[in-house]
Amino acid sequence: MGRPYDPAGEAGIGSAGAGEGAVARRADLLAACRGSLIVVPRREPRSAPKTGRVAGPVRPSLPRVDTGVAEARRSRLPRAVRPLRHPAYRRLVGTVVGSELAEGLWVVAVVWQVIALGGGASTFSAVSGALAGGLVGTALLGGVLADRLSQRRILQVVAAVQLTGAGLVAALSLGGALRPAALVVVAAVIGMAGGLAFPAYAALLPRLVPAGELQAVNGLEGVLRPLLLYAGGPAVAGVLVAAAGPGVALLAVAAASGVSLACACALPADASGAATAADDAEPRGMLADLREGVRYVTRTRWLLVTIVFACFMVLVVLGPLEVLVPFAVKDRAGGGPGEHALVLAVYGLGGAAGSFAAGSLPTPRRYLTTMIVMWSLAALPLAVFGLATALWPMVLAAFVVGAVFSAPQVIWETLLQRRVPPRLLGRVSSLDFFVSLGLMPVSMALAGPASALVGLTPVFVVAAVVPVVIGAVALAAGRLGPDELAHPLHEEDPGGVPPGSNPDQLVGCVRS
């Protein structure tokens, strides 16, 4: 495999030549801790013993910095929830709760709003494609901004935009003035805001928790996201749609976005930073920053192979999963909003179970191979949605798909946070998001017309079988085995304070 790109002589994690950066980070850490150290009274030199022997020199007492790992070991909390000890992370995870709940409400509210307006699968494909197009369209810009500006400020602006958009759609729906075109436009705006949020969040997260707890963080969020996106949000939206109509459910979307905004505003002002601006000796253009991120991805084999694999997976799987499942529930199983919400809820429970397991267990030795194999096999149960004529097989299939899709995602996020240099993490995360989901709008836009042309069954069967072939090709051509063996992640990180964080405020420094 090719050697990972090392920009401006700055080596990545696990590579040679990182000593200078490590020295600088240690100096920053000690300087930050200096203000909070507990002063130990100075001991006077001991007098010479009566035996006539001269006492040796007294060694100065050196400060010991608690990086958070020892505290984590002493904690009685389960590994998966230990990151909640950090106040700044609790606020950050509050933004996740609000945004994922809003998205879960949106998924059900919009599909039944489209049906209430007289639309079908093609109309819903247009709305979903607009949102996906907005996400992908701003992802690269979001990565550059996340490495240059305050990630906290970006999250605040995104939440405010999504609150405004959801509130506008809800008002139009309740007033009887909503049209499909307006729904498409607002979905695109909400998607564009979301494309800016993901890289900012990805770059901010490692600054708030110790590196040794990142897999636990990803496991915890892997539990929260599907529970809110596919269980809590859809369940609440299903009840609201059945009781009061889709307009009230859209109003709940706006309220959840307000929760995300409040938590983003509560984040500590000095918890985020612009890594690129701090590290670069001279200001550079945004295109130069973007090119640096692209070079790193294309010259790092494990990144390139996994992202290309995910790109083809998204094209084949995401459209049927996101667009056609409600119509399979409706047309093949005779279900309605409640049954659709049940399928999504069970999918979320499966995702939570898979993420919790992945976050609670050590990272597998063959982590790259494990990820690709699990993602490839996770799509097989999608065939049930095209073949079953009852609801319960779809519910069971949804649980399996959710669990097997979500577990390797925890490993992938930990891998990015541990092996990508912090100053490039925003751009690499945005490139991963952009390239992996670049075909998401195409998949969503094609799913509806494809089902109208050939039917639901062939589309779901193709979505189930083709990923296995894609995964086999990726493993055979990628040759990832030597890389994953040379860079094991199963060992606990000896450090604890992520680069760029303020240990006084986020983790704590003590002297004893």
Architecture of 85-268+286-489 per CATH? Up-down Bundle (1.20)
Residue 106 has pLDDT above 90, yes or no: yes
Residue 318's nearest CA partner among 440, 468, 433 is: 440
Check: pTM over 0.75? Answer yes or no: no
Structure tokens at 175: 């007033």
Cβ(236)–Cβ(180) below 8 Å:
no
Q: How far is residue 142's CA from residue 146's CA, in Å, rounded to a whole number?
A: 6
Quick one: residue 499, left, alpha or beta (phi over 0 = left, psi -120 to 50 = alpha)? beta
Q: How far is residue 162's CA from residue 253's CA, in Å, rounded to a whole number?
A: 9
Residue 62, CA distances (Å) to 67, 192, 494, 511 in order = 15, 51, 19, 8
Q: Give mean pLDDT, residues 374-380.
A: 93
Q: Give mean pLDDT, residues 26-50.
A: 40
Cβ(376)–Cβ(470) below 8 Å:
yes
pLDDT digits (tens, 9 = 90+) for 441-460: 788 888 888 988 988 999 99
Q: How far is residue 449's CA from residue 324's CA, in Å, rounded to a whole number?
A: 10
Task: Provide the pLDDT for residue 269.
Answer: 75
Q: Where are the domains of the chain?
A: 85-268+286-489
Band of residue 290 on the pLDDT scale cut at 50, 70, 90: confident
> Mean of the per-residue pLDDT values for the chain?
77
Ranges 242-246, 359-363, 407-411, 434-438: which has the least confidence: 434-438
Band of residue 198 on the pLDDT scale cut at 50, 70, 90: confident
